[in-house]
Structures are given as structure tokens and as C-alpha cells.
Structure 1
Amino acid sequence: MEMPRIVLSAGGSDSGKTIVTAALLRILGAKGYRVQPFKIGPDYIDPMYHRLASGRPCRNLDSWIMDEMTVVSSFASGSIGSDLAVIEGVRGLYEGESPVGDEGSTAHVAKILKSPVVIVLNCHSLTRSAAAQLIGLRAMDNQVQIAGVILNKVSDARHEEKLRRAISHYAGIPILGSLSRSPRLEIKKRHLGLTTSHEFPEALEVIKSAAEQLEEGLDLERILEIAKQAPPIDYMPEARPFEGERVRIGVFMDGPFSFYYHENLSALREMGAEIAVVDSLSDRGLGDDLSGVLIGGGYPEIFSKELEANYQMRRSLKQRIMDGLPAIGECGGLMYLCRSIERNGEKRQMVGVFDGDVVMHEKPKALSYVALEASRSSVIADQGAALRGHEFHYSSIEGLSSELSFRVLRGKGIRDFMDGAVCHNAIGMYTHLHYLACPGVPAKFLKECRAYSRR
């Protein structure tokens, strides 16, 4: 399979990879290219900006959560129908699961996909050290092909001229473009990373401004040449038409709950699910035709007042779950299913399926890859199943008496290195799962949903 591709990486976080990636996606799209965006690592928010810039859903690639074959097949299947792929890295080029290993890093994915890498370099207060950083990144692993650099956060024309001289003299790495340091080109941040695109009305204008400025000095022809240097990928698409019983699943997709991998929803559809969007703020209850619900992560603490105000939805959801409706609550979804959320001294009532009370903290309580082993069967896994995922949250849960269904072999979970609170056919967990890495999870969930629909 021929697919031109580049990876955009950096020397570390906060280098501006997302805004540069979004700007490049917009430039390419405006010139008629069908560009498929990808994001390396467990991330929900950066892909929102990719989608806004490209008009195509972004897909995630992760070489710790997924095996190498899954990384390749996900990339190849996701690229079908596009002219080229642009892949944004995670953190710095070599940051991954371990300080002395490759797994989970941008470099590892670049090597798996045999993709050239373009460095987005944070040039704030740098001149010669910019060249030193590039030399170090190139020397770290000779299997990683660093094919160019885009200068970011450049002060002015004089600063850019110094950077170009230093990099040309010491590193000899092609400079493909530059972007100045300006508050107009920044995406707002808060406690789980960037502000979600639907809460940032100016997001598209920021992307447009960045694209206009980046395009002025962008060597687009060279970037396309670099992308075309990537060798073909050995991939044969599999046709998997679903022929079984279809079932209708409600997915909470709104302001409070927006953290979903595109591939997860696609996997559910391919396995026979019909997706019905549920709005936790405006809908007054669940439809009678639903045989399961999925409540993803997000910011329920930000919307806790509005969630509490929609008493009809909270009551409807609790009644249905107590009646046996299969349900998954991931992180923010878990918080919503608890009894209350307390933030800044204000406590708001939530659904109350689980009797724990959520407390928000100033600092993260967990930020990690997660390895789980099922200590008992649940709506998503049989006893003994091994799963990999990730967790990132600022909350803890007090007073929870529910049985927990997963041992946490890596990470923290809800408490005592356990995760997955269970109530009837509902499970609430801090761990986020990627269904391409654990196809048994959506299969088991939909099996339970079909059983519920036949009652």
C-alpha cells in the first residue's frame, strides 16, 4: 500500500506540535489534498483540532497499548481514501513508557511505520542550542529518519536568520518553515491539556491565522517530497461485513463527555451497534430503544451544575441501570455515575449508581499507562482477561463500597490498585481503553446488550 506520510515530533512537550500540525493540515487541505490526520499516544483533545483543521476524524496510534501489527493495520485502514497522512507525535520524540525503552514513543511508531520525521522546534531564546538539540535528536537513534525542521516560537526576522545560520552550519537539517511566537497562535490550556475545540470558539480562527503565517515561508514541495520517501506498507484490508443481530447503544456526546476514540465508535458499529447520541444536558431521559450506554471521559466537573440540574436524565439513567441496562463509564463517565462531584467547595449531585463521592484536586491524581487483569467477570471482560489502557485525572473517589473488578498491574485505578466499579451490568473505571487493542471488550459489551434487548 502506497501512502506518503510524515511524523511531526519535537524535543519535548509545549513545543507547539498541535498548532503546527493543524496549520499544515489546513494548508494541504486548501490545496486539494485529502489528508488523514493521526495522533500518537493516548490523547482525545489534540485530535479534535486535527479534525477541525482537516475535516476528517483523527485516529490514534500507540505502540504500548497496541502491538506493532495493530499500529500498522490501524494506520493503513485509516489512510484509505487519502492522499497522504500527517502524524502528530506525543511529548518529545523519545518519550514513551520507559526511560530506557522505545515502546509508546513517537520514535517507535515512526520506525514501525517507516515514516520520516519533521521536528517542530521550540526556538524560544535559542540560537546555537537549536542546532545542538537537533543534533542530539538525530544521534539518539540512527533508525529514526529526521528529514527536516519547522521553527516555532520565533521572536522576529533577525532571530530566524540566526537560527537558520546555526542549524545550517552545525546540523545540516533542512528548515521547512517557521512560525512566530504570538498569543494569537496559542490554544488555551487547562487541567487535562488543551481546552476542547468545542469550548474554544476562536479555535478555527487560530488555526487559520497559523496556517496563513506558516504558509508564507513553507517549503511545501520539500515536505511532500519527504512524505513520498516513505516506503509502501504491507497491508491487505479485511472485509468484515456484520451479519448478526444489531443493537442500539446510547453514547453520551456533549459538553461534559467528549473523550472518545474514533476507532472505538467505529469498532462498535462494525460489530453491530447502532449509535444514538445522548446529550446529558438537554435530553430528559434515555430512549426506550436503547440496550446499552457508553459514557466517555471529559469534564463533568466543569459542567457539574448543569448535570445536577438535569434531574430527569439522572433519574432515568439510574433507573435503567438498576434494571440491568449494560453501561460503561470511563473516567468522566465514572464520575457522573457516582453520587456527587465536589469542586472548589461546591458539591453537586450526580446519578448515584455508585455510592462514592468524587473530590477534585489541584494536582493530578494519576497520569499513566495502565495494565489491568480482570479479577472477576464484568460487562466488558471475562475473569482473567488482560487489558492495557491509560488514566489521567485530577479526582479521587471517597466512600465507594462497590466491588472492583480489575487488578491494576500498572497505574493506580480507583483505590488499592483496583479499578472497574461494578453495579449490576454497569462498570465505571478510571482506565480509558482503545478497542483496537482489546477487541474483546466491545464484543463482550455488545453481547450483554443483546441479552438485555431480548428480555
Structure 2
Amino acid sequence: MNLPRIVIAGLSGGSGKTLVSLGVVRALARAGLAVKPCKKGPDYIDAWWLALAAGHPTTNLDPYFLGADMLRSLFWTQCGLAGGQGQPAGQSSGGARVQDAPCGFSLLSRPGPFDMAVIEGNRGLFDGRDLSGSCSTAELARILGAPVVVVMDCTKMTRTAAAIVSGLRHFEQGVRIAGVILNRTAGPRHRTVLRETIEHYTDVPVLGVLPKLTDNPIPERHMGLVSGMEHEECVAGLDRVADIMADHVDLHRLREVAASAPAQRQPIADLWSLLPGADHTAPAPSAQRDVEPQAVHHARPRIGYVHDAALWFYYEENLLALRHAGADLVRLSLLDDALWPDLDGLYLGGGFPETLAARLAANRPALDRLRGLSDAGLPIYAECGGFMVLGRSIVMDGTEHPMANIFPVRTVFHPKPQGLGYVDATAVRDNPFHPVGAPFRGHEFHYSRCVPCDTPTAEGTAEPDCASSGPATLPVCALLLTAQSGHVTGMGEGRDGLLHNNTLAAYTHIFAPAVPHWAPAMVRAARGFRSGRPA
């Protein structure tokens, strides 16, 4: 079993690997190749842009969440080459392409076929969680048997670049540095010196030499790249980056490097059949798309997921896991006045609700609908931005925006991250989604802080009065978090997950293949609600 594949890595964050990855994927897709984009996770925004560039959803690959065997199974499953599901490139698999869906988001009913996979790394190539570099981009490359192309920021550097490449080449066994792309070069002489020294002192080919760009075609914000849903010129920006790559990167040699990736043993089954709770009576893949709001599939519970410009952080694998556990999915929005169908469950992902807080607050019928569904016992699972919408209000720049008021907390935004990193979580209260005592892994990244509504506010503002000695009691939480990297707080002091009836809302994001109990539990809860029995 084989598929041409490369890892595009950097020396550090900000080296230009994301821009190169987007441009390469877009250029290859424009040339007619079916490119499978992957991202060394966790990541939503870069993954969204990669999907838009390729025309196919991005698969997140993270050695922290999954062991080597499961990572390989996930990769080959999502490439359409596990469990005998592979097809020759060029044949249709019935999956929707990203550009066919509003906001550029879609799920493939069956992945593939693909001509090539491009895997964007994370931070520096060898940067991991510990001294041995565990969970690094290099480790992922070893697991997948993928050659690595390194993007180097060559600002004010010449011969030293060769020393760096030589060091990369010999630093870690099992990682094949198959090429470099030199970024931010100053001019023709600078480029010539860089290329000649690297190719003289090392056996690593220079696959491209990029000039300094006067501006970034893809804008950035505090969490990385700006969402294309906010950026009207996103497609034009991607095409501009693709033009730059086509002019300055040898795409033919890049494809040759990808084709040199060794064959790997085919997993005996696709990932979804290996996870507990899979519904083996599910419809054929061609039918596994979002159902129309008015459609009825009596045998399968209907779970809605809000996907709009406010909430759109969803791992494709989370939605696929719900489908494979037996649910039909319905895409919904909190930003319009469209009626919702009868639901058996609801999933609210993360996003940037703070950027549309005034608009969300103005749509009182939608927020009241959320409160009514929660009060009625509908199973609702909310992550980060979704949790913020379920609180009493969002406070942004001193202005308070009323939300659904399911939980007696406000989420107050700060200039710096209030929670960032991987977590190990354990459920400590009964809930429909996570068994008590069952550990699972997740991550968080948020600039807001959860503030109980009994916290006093400073005079003339909605901001909490930090100098006040008044009481501030956080509601009892369902989850306990242990920080594995970064600065992790949850809702405070390592606690996370507020409960109301069958609604669980937390800052923690999960990745369904790493939390195999989650999707079957949510579908069971939805079936219970549908039948009128307690979930």
C-alpha cells in the first residue's frame, strides 16, 4: 500500500511552513491533482485553509492523541487506503468537495482517492513535549514513513544555512530530510550563495528559494491564520500564494520526493471499524452526508451541529465518529432565523463567537431556543466557543453581550491566552458523554476566562472587579484537568465542564478517535432522548 506523501516542516513557528504548505497544496490542486491535506495537530484554522486550498477536508494527525498504530490507521483510512477501501486515483468516491459547501466546509462520505498527501508540521521539526522530542513533527514523519521538506527562514544568513541543514540531516535516526525550501531571501546573490553552500556541504537538495514578501496574502490573528469566513479574498489569496510557489519551487521535484516515500503495510480495517460503538448497519457511504433539515431517518437519531461564522471549530473526525456511531447530522446556524428541525442531540463546537457577540446577542429567538432545548433535556455537548454561547454573557472590550443563560457564568476576554495546551481529563460527575473515572485527552486554547455571575464588577464597566473581596463561586464542574503542556486552567484551577440536565459545556476540545467512548455515548443519549427514555 502506498501513496506519495511529504511532511512540510519548519525550523520554528513563523518560519513560513504554513504559507508554503498552502501554496504547494493549492498549486498541485490547480494542476489537477487530488491532494489530501493533513495537519500535525491540534489545529482548526490552518486545517481550514488547507482544506480550502485542496478542495478536500484536512485530517489532523497528532501523536499526543493517538499511538503509532492508530495514527497510521487514521491516516490511511482518511486517504481511502485502509481495509480494502482504496480506489485508483481519478475515480469518484462520492464525497463532496470542500468548495461545494458554504463556508468551505464539507465531509467526505468516503475519503479518496488521492494522488498525494501533504502533511503540514507544527512548530520546529524536532520540537516535542520532552527531552526526547515526543509528539514532534519528526515523530509523526517517522510513523508515516514520510520524507521531510524543511522550510528555512534565511533572513540575514548565508553559509550557516548549510550547517543547519547538516545538523537536521544527522540529528535523529529515521527522519529523512529530503529537501529544503529557503524562505525570505534578500535577492539573487543571496539566493545563489545559499543554494551553492547547502548543495556543496550537504546531500540535501534545495527544492525552492522564495523571496521576501512585502505582505502576507493570508492574514493572521491571535490564534493563527484568520478564518477564511472572515476574509472575502481568501481564494484570491490562496491563488496568489500558489503562483509564488509555482514560480519559485520545483513542484516536479517535490512530487518526486513524495513518490519516494516507502510503502507501508495496509491496516486490516479502517479506523472507524476499530473504534467501539461503530454502527455496522449504517447506510452505504454515499448516503452518509448531512441530511436535509426536513429529512427523517427513523432508525438513526438526528444530531445537529452549529456551523456558521461564529462556531466552526470541528474536527472532521468528530463528525465522522458520530455518523459511524449511528447518527444523522444536520448543519445549523445561530446567526439566522431559520427554523430548526426536531433534534435528538446537539453539538456546539468552538470558534470566534466574540467577534460576532453583538449579532448573536441580537438573535434572541435562537438563544432562547438553546435554553429551551437544554431545559427539555436534549443532549448538548459544547466546546469552548460553544460553551461561551451557553453562558449568561460574553464580555468583550468592556461590553457585555447577553447569551443563552444556561449557565450562571460570564466569559470575559483578555489580551493574553488564559488556557493553552494539552490536557488529561477525567470525568468526576455523571454526565451523558464521559463515564465517571474514565480518563481522556484533549486540548484548550482560549483568551477568555470563566467568571461566576456573583463576581462583583468594577463601577461603570462589565469587567470583573479583581480588587473586590466579594464572593465568586464557580459552579460545580464535571471534569478535572491535568496540564500536560502549556498553561492550562479550564474554568479555573484545573476544573472544567459545567452541567445542566443533559448539557455539558467545557473549554476542553476533544479529538474523537482519541476519546472512543464519546461518539457512541452521545448517540446513545440522543436515542434515549428520541425514545422518551432518560439518557
TM-score, scaled to structure 1: 0.96
Tell me the secondary structure at the aligned position of residue 339 of structure 1: strand
Q: Residue in 2 aligned with 1:5?
A: 5
8 Å CA contact 2:217, 2:241 repeated in 1: no
8 Å CA contact 1:41, 1:61 repeated in 2: yes
The one-letter code matched in structure 1 to 2:448 is: S
- Aligned-partner Cα distance in 1 for 2:214–2:497: 41
| Bigger mean CA offset, 176-185 vs 368-377 | 176-185
8 Å CA contact 1:249, 1:291 repeated in 2: yes
Alignment match of 1:152 (pick from 168, 172, 183)? 183
- The C-alpha deviation readout for 1:296-354, integer Å capped at 9, x for no partner, is 11101111000100000000110110110111110111111111111111110011111
8 Å CA contact 2:279, 2:326 repeated in 1: no
Alignment match of 1:357 (pick from 406, 410, 414)? 410
| Bigger mean CA offset, 34-43 vs 182-191 | 182-191
Q: Residue in 2 aligned with 1:291?
A: 344
Q: Residue in 2 aligned with 1:123?
A: 154
| Bigger mean CA offset, 417-426 vs 175-184 | 175-184
Q: Does 1:342 align with 2:380?
A: no
8 Å CA contact 2:42, 2:62 repeated in 1: yes
Instruction: State the Cα distance separating 1:167 from its structure 2 match.
Output: 1.6
8 Å CA contact 2:392, 2:406 repeated in 1: yes
Q: Does 1:304 align with 2:304?
A: no
Tell me the secondary structure at the aligned position of residue 150 of structure 2: strand
Alignment match of 2:317 (pick from 249, 263, 267)? 263
Q: Does 1:389 align with 2:420?
A: no
Instruction: State the Cα distance separating 1:220 from its structure 2 match.
Output: 2.4
Q: Residue in 2 aligned with 1:272?
A: 326
- Aligned-partner Cα distance in 2 for 1:448–1:260: 20
Alignment match of 2:280 (pick from 235, 242, 247)? 242
Alignment match of 2:500 (pick from 420, 423, 441)? 423
Tell me the secondary structure at the aligned position of residue 222 of structure 1: helix
Q: Does 1:450 align with 2:450?
A: no
Q: Residue in 2 aligned with 1:328?
A: 381
Q: Residue in 2 aligned with 1:199?
A: 230
User: What 5-or-longer segments of structure 1 have no aligned partner?
Assistant: none
| Bigger mean CA offset, 375-384 vs 132-141 | 132-141
Residue-pair matches, total: 453
- The C-alpha deviation readout for 1:58-99, integer Å capped at 9, x for no partner, is 11000011121221011001112111111000111012222x
8 Å CA contact 1:185, 1:209 repeated in 2: no
Q: Does 1:433 align with 2:510?
A: yes
Flag the 1:229–1:341 CA change in 2: closer, same or farther, 3 A: same
- The C-alpha deviation readout for 1:17-44, integer Å capped at 9, x for no partner, is 1121111112222222211010001000
Flag the 1:124–1:202 CA change in 2: closer, same or farther, 3 A: farther
Instruction: State the Cα distance separating 1:269 from its structure 2 match.
Output: 1.2
Q: Residue in 1 aligned with 2:479?
A: 406
- Aligned-partner Cα distance in 2 for 1:241–1:445: 13
TM-score, scaled to structure 2: 0.82
The one-letter code matched in structure 1 to 2:60 is: N
Identity of aligned residues (%): 37
Tell me the secondary structure at the aligned position of residue 379 of structure 1: coil
- Aligned-partner Cα distance in 1 for 2:214–2:426: 45
The one-letter code matched in structure 1 to 2:161 is: A
Instruction: State the Cα distance separating 1:379 from its structure 2 match.
Output: 1.9
The one-letter code matched in structure 1 to 2:242 is: A
Tell me the secondary structure at the aligned position of residue 37 of structure 1: strand
Q: Does 1:208 align with 2:281?
A: no
Q: Residue in 2 aligned with 1:27?
A: 27
Alignment of 1:159-174 (within 5 A): 159-174=190-205
8 Å CA contact 1:70, 1:437 repeated in 2: no
- Aligned-partner Cα distance in 2 for 1:271–1:196: 30
| Bigger mean CA offset, 21-30 vs 131-140 | 131-140
CA RMSD of aligned residues (A): 1.6
Tell me the secondary structure at the aligned position of residue 133 of structure 1: helix
8 Å CA contact 1:339, 1:353 repeated in 2: yes
- Aligned-partner Cα distance in 1 for 2:279–2:423: 32
Instruction: State the Cα distance separating 1:48 from its structure 2 match.
Output: 1.1
Q: Residue in 2 aligned with 1:75?
A: 75
8 Å CA contact 2:51, 2:58 repeated in 1: yes
- Aligned-partner Cα distance in 2 for 1:232–1:123: 34
| Bigger mean CA offset, 131-140 vs 391-400 | 131-140
- Aligned-partner Cα distance in 2 for 1:231–1:173: 18
- Structure 1 residue ranges, 4+ long, deviating more than 4 angstroms after superposition: none
Tell me the secondary structure at the aligned position of residue 11 of structure 2: coil
Instruction: State the Cα distance separating 1:200 from its structure 2 match.
Output: 1.5
The one-letter code matched in structure 2 to 1:197 is: G
User: What 5-or-longer segments of structure 2 have no aligned partner?
Assistant: 81-112, 283-298, 453-472
Flag the 1:348–1:241 CA change in 2: closer, same or farther, 3 A: closer
Instruction: State the Cα distance separating 1:218 from its structure 2 match.
Output: 2.6
The one-letter code matched in structure 2 to 1:208 is: D
- The C-alpha deviation readout for 1:114-148, integer Å capped at 9, x for no partner, is 11100011122222232232223223212211000
Alignment match of 1:316 (pick from 369, 376, 385)? 369
- The C-alpha deviation readout for 1:389-442, integer Å capped at 9, x for no partner, is 111011101116432111112232111211111111011111110001112111
- Aligned-partner Cα distance in 1 for 2:32–2:200: 36
The one-letter code matched in structure 1 to 2:125 is: L
Instruction: State the Cα distance separating 1:184 from its structure 2 match.
Output: 4.1
Q: Does 1:377 align with 2:392?
A: no
- Aligned-partner Cα distance in 2 for 1:444–1:214: 45
8 Å CA contact 1:64, 1:97 repeated in 2: no
Alignment of 1:29-68 (within 5 A): 29-68=29-68
| Bigger mean CA offset, 125-134 vs 19-28 | 125-134
- Aligned-partner Cα distance in 2 for 1:92–1:110: 13
8 Å CA contact 1:11, 1:133 repeated in 2: no
Instruction: State the Cα distance separating 1:171 from its structure 2 match.
Output: 3.1
- Aligned-partner Cα distance in 2 for 1:104–1:215: 32
| Bigger mean CA offset, 204-213 vs 262-271 | 204-213
8 Å CA contact 2:217, 2:240 repeated in 1: no
Tell me the secondary structure at the aligned position of residue 528 of structure 2: helix
